[in-house]
A and B are shown apart, each in its own frame.
Chain A
Amino acid sequence: MDTLVSTLINVLIALAVVAGVFTVANVVLDRLPQRADQWLRPWVFVGPAVAFLTVGLVIPAVRTILLSLRGGRRGEEGFTLDQWKRALTDDNVISFANFGKIFTSRLFIAAVVLLVIAIVVARQSAARSVAPGATQRGGGLDVSHPVSSTLLALAVISILLAVFSTLRGIIWNNLWWVAAVAGFATLFGLALAVLADRSRSENVAKTLIFMPMAISLVGAAIIWKYIYDTPGAGQAEGLLNILWPGGPIDFLRGTSPTGTIAPWNNFFIMMIMIWIQAGFAMVVISAAIKGVPTELLEAARVDGANEVQVFWRVTLPQIVPTIVVVVTTLTITVLKIFDLVKATTGGAAGTDVLANRMYEGLRNGNFTASSTFAVMILILVLPVMWINIRRVRREVV
Chain B
Amino acid sequence: MIALVAVLSLFTAACAQDDDDEAGGGGGGDAKDTLTISGPETGSEADGFTAAFDPFTEETGIKIEYSGTRDFETQIRVAAEGGDLPDLAVIPQPGLAKDLADKITPVPKSVLDKYKDQYDPYLWEQVTTDDDDILGVPNKGDVKSLVWYSPKVFKEKGYEVPETWDAMLKLADKMKADGVTPWCVGIESGEATGWPLTDWFEDIMLRMHGPEVYDQWVNHEIPFNDPKVVEVGKEIEKIWFGQGNVLNGRQSIASTGFKQAGLPILEGKCGMHRMANFYAADYKDAGAKFGEDGDVNVFYLPTMSDKFGKVTLSGGTYIVAFNDNEATMKAIEYLASPDYANARIKANKGGFLSPNQKHDTSLYSDDLDRQLAEILTTADPLRFDGSDLMPSEVGAGTFWKEGTNWVLGSGDLKKFLDNVEASWPDS
A contact residues vs B (CB 8 Å cutoff)? 3-4, 6-7, 10-11, 73-74, 92, 229-235, 250, 252-257, 260, 262, 342-350, 352, 359-360, 362-367
Among A11, A343, A359, find the residue whose CB has the most chain B CB atoms closer than 10 A: A11
Does B110 reach chain A (CB closer than 8 Å)? Answer: no
Contact call B191/A343, Cβ cutoff below 8 A: yes
CB distance from A203 to the nearest CB of B (A): 27
Give every chain B residue within 8 A of A7 (Cβ-Cβ): 5, 8-9, 12
Which B residues, 377 to 427, have Cβ-Cβ distances below 8 Å to chain A?
Answer: 391-393, 396-397, 400-401, 404-405, 408-410, 419, 425, 427
Contact call B191/A342, Cβ cutoff below 8 A: yes
Distance in angstroms between the alpha carbons of A69 and B114 in the assembled complex: 48
The 8 Å CB contact of A348, one of B193, B260, B270, B409, is B193
Contact call B404/A348, Cβ cutoff below 8 A: yes
Contact call A254/B260, Cβ cutoff below 8 A: no
Contact call A348/B405, Cβ cutoff below 8 A: yes
CB distance from A9 to the nearest CB of B (A): 9
12 A-B interface contacts by CB (under 8 A): A233-B247, A233-B263, A233-B269, A233-B270, A250-B408, A253-B254, A254-B408, A255-B251, A349-B405, A360-B393, A362-B77, A364-B391
Distance in angstroms between the alpha carbons of A233 and B159 in the assembled complex: 23
Contact call A4/B425, Cβ cutoff below 8 A: no
Distance in angstroms between the alpha carbons of A74 and B427 in the assembled complex: 12
Contact call A3/B190, Cβ cutoff below 8 A: no
Contact call A234/B263, Cβ cutoff below 8 A: yes
Does B13 reach chain A (CB closer than 8 Å)? Answer: yes
Which B residues, 158 to 182, have Cβ-Cβ distances below 8 Å to chain A?
Answer: none
Give every chain A residue within 8 A of B401 (Cβ-Cβ): 346-348, 352
Task: Given contact pairs A233-B261, A349-B408, enumerate 15 new A-B contacts (beta carbons under 8 Å).
Answer: A3-B12, A10-B8, A11-B8, A230-B256, A233-B256, A255-B255, A344-B190, A345-B193, A346-B193, A349-B254, A360-B397, A362-B74, A363-B77, A364-B396, A364-B397
Give every chain A residue within 8 A of B269 (Cβ-Cβ): 233
Does B81 reach chain A (CB closer than 8 Å)? Answer: yes
Give every chain A residue within 8 A of B99 (Cβ-Cβ): 365
B contact residues vs A (CB 8 Å cutoff)? 5, 8-9, 11-13, 73-74, 77-78, 81, 96, 99, 184, 186, 190-194, 247-249, 251-252, 254-257, 260-264, 269-270, 391-393, 396-397, 400-401, 404-405, 408-410, 419, 425, 427
Among A262, A345, A348, find the residue whose CB has the most chain B CB atoms closer than 10 A: A348
Distance in angstroms between the alpha carbons of A346 and B260 in the assembled complex: 19
Give every chain B residue within 8 A of A234 (Cβ-Cβ): 260-261, 263-264
Give every chain B residue within 8 A of A346 (Cβ-Cβ): 190-193, 400-401
Give every chain A residue within 8 A of B11 (Cβ-Cβ): 10
Kindly list the 5 A-B residue pairs having the minimum CB-CB distance in the complex, ordered from nearest.
A346-B191, A234-B260, A234-B263, A232-B256, A250-B255
Give every chain B residue within 8 A of A345 (Cβ-Cβ): 193
Give every chain B residue within 8 A of A3 (Cβ-Cβ): 9, 12-13
Contact call B194/A6, Cβ cutoff below 8 A: no
CB distance from B131 to the nearest CB of A (A): 19
Contact call A74/B81, Cβ cutoff below 8 A: yes
Contact call B392/A363, Cβ cutoff below 8 A: yes
Nearest neighbor of A238 in chain B, beta-carbon distance: B255
Distance in angstroms between the alpha carbons of A191 and B75 in the assembled complex: 43
Nearest neighbor of A342 in chain B, beta-carbon distance: B191
The 8 Å CB contact of B256, one of A11, A235, A359, is A235
Give every chain A residue within 8 A of B261 (Cβ-Cβ): 232-234
Give every chain A residue within 8 A of B260 (Cβ-Cβ): 232-235
Give every chain B residue within 8 A of A362 (Cβ-Cβ): 74, 77-78
Given contacts A346-B193, A349-B408, A362-B78, are A255 and B392 in contact (CB under 8 A)?
Answer: no
Give every chain A residue within 8 A of B74 (Cβ-Cβ): 359, 362-363
Distance in angstroms between the alpha carbons of A229 and B249 in the assembled complex: 15
The 8 Å CB contact of A230, one of B78, B190, B255, B419, is B255
